Amino acid sequence: MGKNAGETGIVKITVIAVGKIKEKFYTDAIAEYSKRLSRYCRLEVIQVADEKTPDGASEERQIKEKEGSRILAQIKDGAYVIALAVQGTMLSSEQLASKLNKLGLDGQSQIVLIIGGSLGLSDEVLKRADYHLSFSPMTFPHQLMRVILLEQIYRSYRIISGEPYHK
C-alpha cells in the first residue's frame, strides 16, 4: 500500500513571490489561507524585492534578471519548482491536486511555487523550474495571484483529503 505525504513527513510548500503586499484585504486573505493550510502542509511565503519598472522597455531583461537572482537564491537544492507562467500548462483544480499528491507520494517533501513580478520571470528561473503552471492567459496583479494560488493549494489539499469543497 502506498504512503501518503502525511505518512512520509509533511510536505513543505514554499511560495516565492516578487514584491510586497500593500493592501490589507490581500494580507488578510493570505493570512486566512495560510492558517487553513497549516493542517495540511508546512507553508512558507517568501517575498523578494521587486525592481522599479521604468517607462522604457529596454531594461526589462535586466529587471527580470535581478528579480530572478533573488528568487533563485531562495530555492533549496532538491526542491521541486513550479513556476507560474502564462505559457505554462493549465490544470483543473482536480489535476493540480493530483499533481501535488503525486509529488508527495513520490517522496518530494519540498515544493516551491514562484510568482514573478510585473514583467514576469527571468529565463534562468524558468529553466530552473521543473514545471510551468498557467492559471490563465489573462494577466493578474501579482498580489491577487498570491491569494488565488494559496486558495488553489488549499482546495487541492481538500480534494486530496476527500473533504468537500465548493465547485
Render 108-160 in DSSP notation, one character per residue: --EEEEEE-BTTB--HHHHHH-SEEEES-SS---HHHHHHHHHHHHHHHHHHH
pLDDT band at residue 7 under the 50/70/90 scheme = very low
Give me the long-range contacts of 52-61 (CB less than 8 A, separation at least 24): 53/117, 53/118, 53/119, 60/119, 61/122
In this structure, how many other beta carbons lie within 10 angstroms of the beta carbon of residue 27?
15
pLDDT score of 10 more than 90: no
Residues 156/39, Cβ–Cβ less than 8 Å: no
Q: Provide the whole-model pTM.
A: 0.90
Q: What is the dihedral sign for C-alpha 81, 87, 88, 93?
A: positive
**Each residue of 71-103: pLDDT tens digit?**
999 999 999 999 999 999 999 999 999 999 999
* Type of residue numbered 118: S
pLDDT digits (tens, 9 = 90+) for 89-138: 999 999 999 999 999 989 899 999 999 998 899 999 999 999 999 999 98
Confidence of residue 6 (pLDDT cuts 50, 70, 90): very low
